[in-house]
Structure 1
Amino acid sequence: MFSMKKYIPNQHGAWAMLVLPFLFGVAASRGQLIHIPLFVCWLLIYLFSFPLLQGVKTRRFKRYAQPLKLYGILLLPLIIYLVAAEPVLLWFVLPLVPLFAVNLYYARTKNERALLNDISAIVAFCLIIYPVFYVGQGGSWQTVTELFVLAVLYFTGTALYVKTVIRERNNIRFYYGSVLYHLLVAAAGLFLFPSLLVPLLILLLRAAILPKTGITAKRTGIIEIGFSVMLYVSVLVLYF
């Protein structure tokens, strides 16, 4: 029986992690035609990884054979094209391997909600900024690294904040830990991203206030899209 649940990931927050670092990479370089197949490839890698991790978690690979086959067939020609056009892209894959191994481990142990698993996935998603920057012929590796750090800090804070709304909503220590993390990021922003202090303070207020409102998980996901757009626009307008 056909089921979209086997094809489309149900991790709504991951879509922002898929797109925002990619856009940061484009912003730090120059838009090129190769960015289009690179993004499609990146999207398919994410879609392929979802049934793979589900298969590892459930030990029922037959159930996920069709999406694995579909995304694998779509991925292969794109990978061949991109590697032929830019062989250096292979080097950017290397740091993703141990990070994905962490995700495989937590899927195997059925503990995907572990914070370390979240952070591993966040770093992996954010690393896409470097190949995007490279093929876009960007000029400043310092700038792209600063944006990489910003993305990792933002999504780590988002992971903490979302947990205070859903799984850890009654854990006051976790709530204070989330607020403290955002406070430290805002303080570090004075030195690392002084032009982005206002959006960082808004994210601090988000972490401090919204969990107290009884906001639902669905609304949290919808609103988070707005915060991602806010950060992206802030980078375009205030950072460069």
Structure 2
Amino acid sequence: MNRYIPNQHGAWAMLMLPFLLGMSVAGATLLHLPLFLCWLSMYLFSFPVLQWIKTGKKDRYLKPSLVYGLILIPLTIIVVLSEPELIGYGVLLLLTFAIPAYYAKSKNERALLNDIVAILLFCSFIYPVVYVSAGHEADWTKTTLLFVMSGLYFIGTALYVKTIIREKKNPRYYRLSIAYHVLLIPFAAWLSLPLAIPFTILLARAIVLPKRKLKVKQTGIAELVFAVMLYVFVLIVYL
């Protein structure tokens, strides 16, 4: 099953949070179900494709690529027929996919720049979610602020996770992670004072947890909890 299921536990939070934020602030519609399933299928499809590019093992990753591709096609058709303007967003995703493909080919997919690109792609999903709810009448200022907030949050998470796994013996990375989280607090307070609370908790996480020798799976599951915490605070502020 490791050919079919991505082993990045924290990525599920990036998959879900922008979708939930967009749907919560703009309202839910029936089209959100095929839209999310399409988004999920894209993510699952990209996993074996990138592994194929990285390893060159066609026999191992061709079948899961085909399975997810066949699931993705009808979902994409449903979404596009319902909202043709989303074709532009799909083209943007396709063009940007060249960046993680390059890093996979270089066997350097853990590079921070690649992480940031992936984060921004995940967070950008809030735009089609909001568009499906409200069309051109949507509050794009609020949407963009939530996009920026979630992007900054996940970039901080990427820095923090590196202090636990790949850069756990690098004190400069640890200091960078803490400094980054410190700077996020005034930004969160500027958005809304109550948002400073979850970002202060995230700062405490960046300080304390790297010293606890957590396993990779434990770290990923913890990030799901922190993402839920942030989501709840956003709901309190914006709803």
TM-score band, normalised by shorter chain: over 0.9
- Structure 2 unpaired stretches of 5+: none
1:33 counterpart (20, 23, 30): 30
1:131 counterpart (128, 133, 139): 128
How many angstroms apart in 2 are the aligned matches of 1:165 and 1:98? Answer: 32
How many angstroms apart in 1 are the aligned matches of 2:68 and 2:213? Answer: 38
Give the TM-score normalised by structure 2: 0.95
- Residue of structure 1 equivalent to 2:223: 224
How many angstroms apart in 2 are the aligned matches of 1:6 and 1:210? Answer: 30
Residues 16-165 of structure 1 mapped to structure 2, 5 A cutoff = 16-137=13-134, 139-165=138-164
Task: Tell me which amino acid in the other structure corresponds to 2:88.
Answer: W
Shift of 1:209: 1.2
- Structure 1 unpaired stretches of 5+: none
Do 2:3 and 2:61's aligned partners in 1 also have CA atoms closer than 8 Å? Answer: yes
Do 2:123 and 2:147's aligned partners in 1 also have CA atoms closer than 8 Å? Answer: yes
How many angstroms apart in 2 are the aligned matches of 1:72 and 1:215? Answer: 35
In the TM superposition, what whole-angstrom CA distance separates every residue of 1:100-151 from its partner, at most 9, and x where no partner exists? Answer: 2110000000001100010010001111100000001163111111110111
Give the TM-score normalised by structure 1: 0.95
Residues 172-191 of structure 1 mapped to structure 2, 5 A cutoff = 172-191=171-190
Q: RMSD between aligned alpha carbons?
A: 1.2
Deviant stretches of 4+, over 6 Å: none
How many angstroms apart in 2 are the aligned matches of 1:69 and 1:97? Answer: 17
Task: Tell me which amino acid in the other structure corresponds to 2:148.
Answer: V
What is the percent sequence identity of the aligned residues? 54
How many angstroms apart in 1 are the aligned matches of 2:90 and 2:12? Answer: 20
Shift of 1:41: 0.6
Do 1:196 and 1:239's aligned partners in 2 also have CA atoms closer than 8 Å? Answer: no
Do 2:192 and 2:237's aligned partners in 1 also have CA atoms closer than 8 Å? Answer: no
Higher helix proportion: 2
